[in-house]
Amino acid sequence: MSVGKLTDIQIKAWIKAGERFEGRADGNGLYLCYRESFATPKWRFRYSLAGKARAMWIGSYGELSLAKARETVRMLSARVALGYDVAGEKKERKASAIAKIEADKNARRVSDLATEYFERQILGRWKHPDILRRRIDKDINPHIGNLKADEVKPRHIDEMLQNIVSRGAPTVANDVLRWTKRIFNYGIKRHILEVNPAAAFELSDAGGQEKSRERFLTDDELSQLFSAMKKAKGFGRQNELTFKLLLLLCCRKMELCSARWENVDLNNAIWHLTGTKNGDDIDIPLPENAILWLNELKIMSCNSEWVLPARKMQNRMIPHIVESTLPVALAKLRPHLHGIDNFTIHDFRRTARTHLASLGVDPIVAERCLNHRIKGVEGIYNRHQYFDERKKALLLWQDKLIKLDMDSD
Q: What is the pLDDT of residues 103-153, one digit of tens each?
A: 555 578 999 999 999 988 988 777 778 788 889 999 999 999 999 998 999
Same domain for 314 and 393? yes
Same domain for 377 and 272? yes
Q: Lowest-confidence range among 174-183, 334-343, 393-402? A: 334-343
Residue 56: which domain range? Answer: 8-106
Residue (of 249, 290, 283, 289) closest to 263 by Cα position: 283
Which pLDDT tens digit goes with each residue over 48-94? 888 888 888 888 998 888 999 999 899 888 888 888 888 877 777 77
Q: Is there a domain that residue 212 lies in?
A: no
Same domain for 142 and 190? yes
Q: Is there a domain that residue 31 lies in?
A: yes
Name the domain boundary from 106, 131, 150. Answer: 106
Could you tell me the pLDDT band of residue 350, with boundaries at 50, 70 and 90? very high
Average pLDDT of 379-391?
Answer: 74
Same domain for 114 and 101? no
Same domain for 98 and 235? no
Same domain for 117 and 100? no
Name the domain boundary from 51, 78, 106. Answer: 106
Same domain for 14 and 89? yes
Same domain for 307 and 395? yes
Residue (of 229, 280, 230, 210) closest to 251 by Cα position: 280
Same domain for 373 and 338? yes
Report yes or no on whether pTM surpasses 0.75: no
Indicate which CATH number applies to the domain containing 296: 1.10.443.10
Name the domain boundary from 51, 80, 106. Answer: 106
Which has more confidence, 284 or 324?
A: 284
Same domain for 270 and 330? yes
Which pLDDT tens digit goes with each residue over 196-228? 999 989 888 887 776 666 889 999 999 999 999
Same domain for 96 and 178? no
Domains held by the chain: number: 3
Same domain for 360 and 229? yes
